[in-house]
Structure 1
């Protein structure tokens, strides 16, 4: 593991991140005392979007029972008058 003081780390941050990205650990020191360690971040699983399940769930909603928008609005207005 390579070690850099704060000033060196600030000056070479982009290069240090490249090294970390390739699997190397980097230690940052202040006055010779280790204060931080740069390590590669854990791989975050990407959330997948299931379009088919979304469409099924959407079409099962009460507003999708074969009523067009004009009829739905009329029913809502009529309900408000009762």
Structure 2
């Protein structure tokens, strides 16, 4: 993630521009006398609740694994190309 640092005086003059940068995913740090005092970032999107019953129905319809997870991971690691 990119970060942009501006002084408080510059931030006052360019608040709309800095807000747009933050909305686009860039972190904006505002300093006062050279020390960081504010960090502007894009707000996190709220998470959607999980419907437990729907999740259970989905997983119940899936076929069981033919091998244990540990063995599967070992095979994946051993067969991986580095």
TM-score (norm 1): 0.52
Whether 1:2 aligns to 2:17 is: no
Q: Indicate the residue corresponding to 2:13 in structure 1.
A: 11
Of structures 1 and 2, the larger Rg is shown by: 1
**How many positions carry a matched residue from both structures?**
46
TM-score by length of 2: 0.52
Structure 2 unmatched runs, 5+ = 49-82
- Find the residue that maps to 1:29 and give its secondary structure: strand
Output one character per residue of 1:13-70: Cα deviation in whole Å (capped at 9) or x when no partner: 0000110111000000000000110011111369xxxxxxxxxxxxxxxxxxxxxxxx
Structure 1 residue ranges without an equivalent (≥5) = 47-82
Q: Which portions of structure 1, spanning 4 or more consecutive aligned residues, are displaced by more than 6 angstroms?
A: none
Two-structure CA RMSD over aligned residues (Å): 1.4
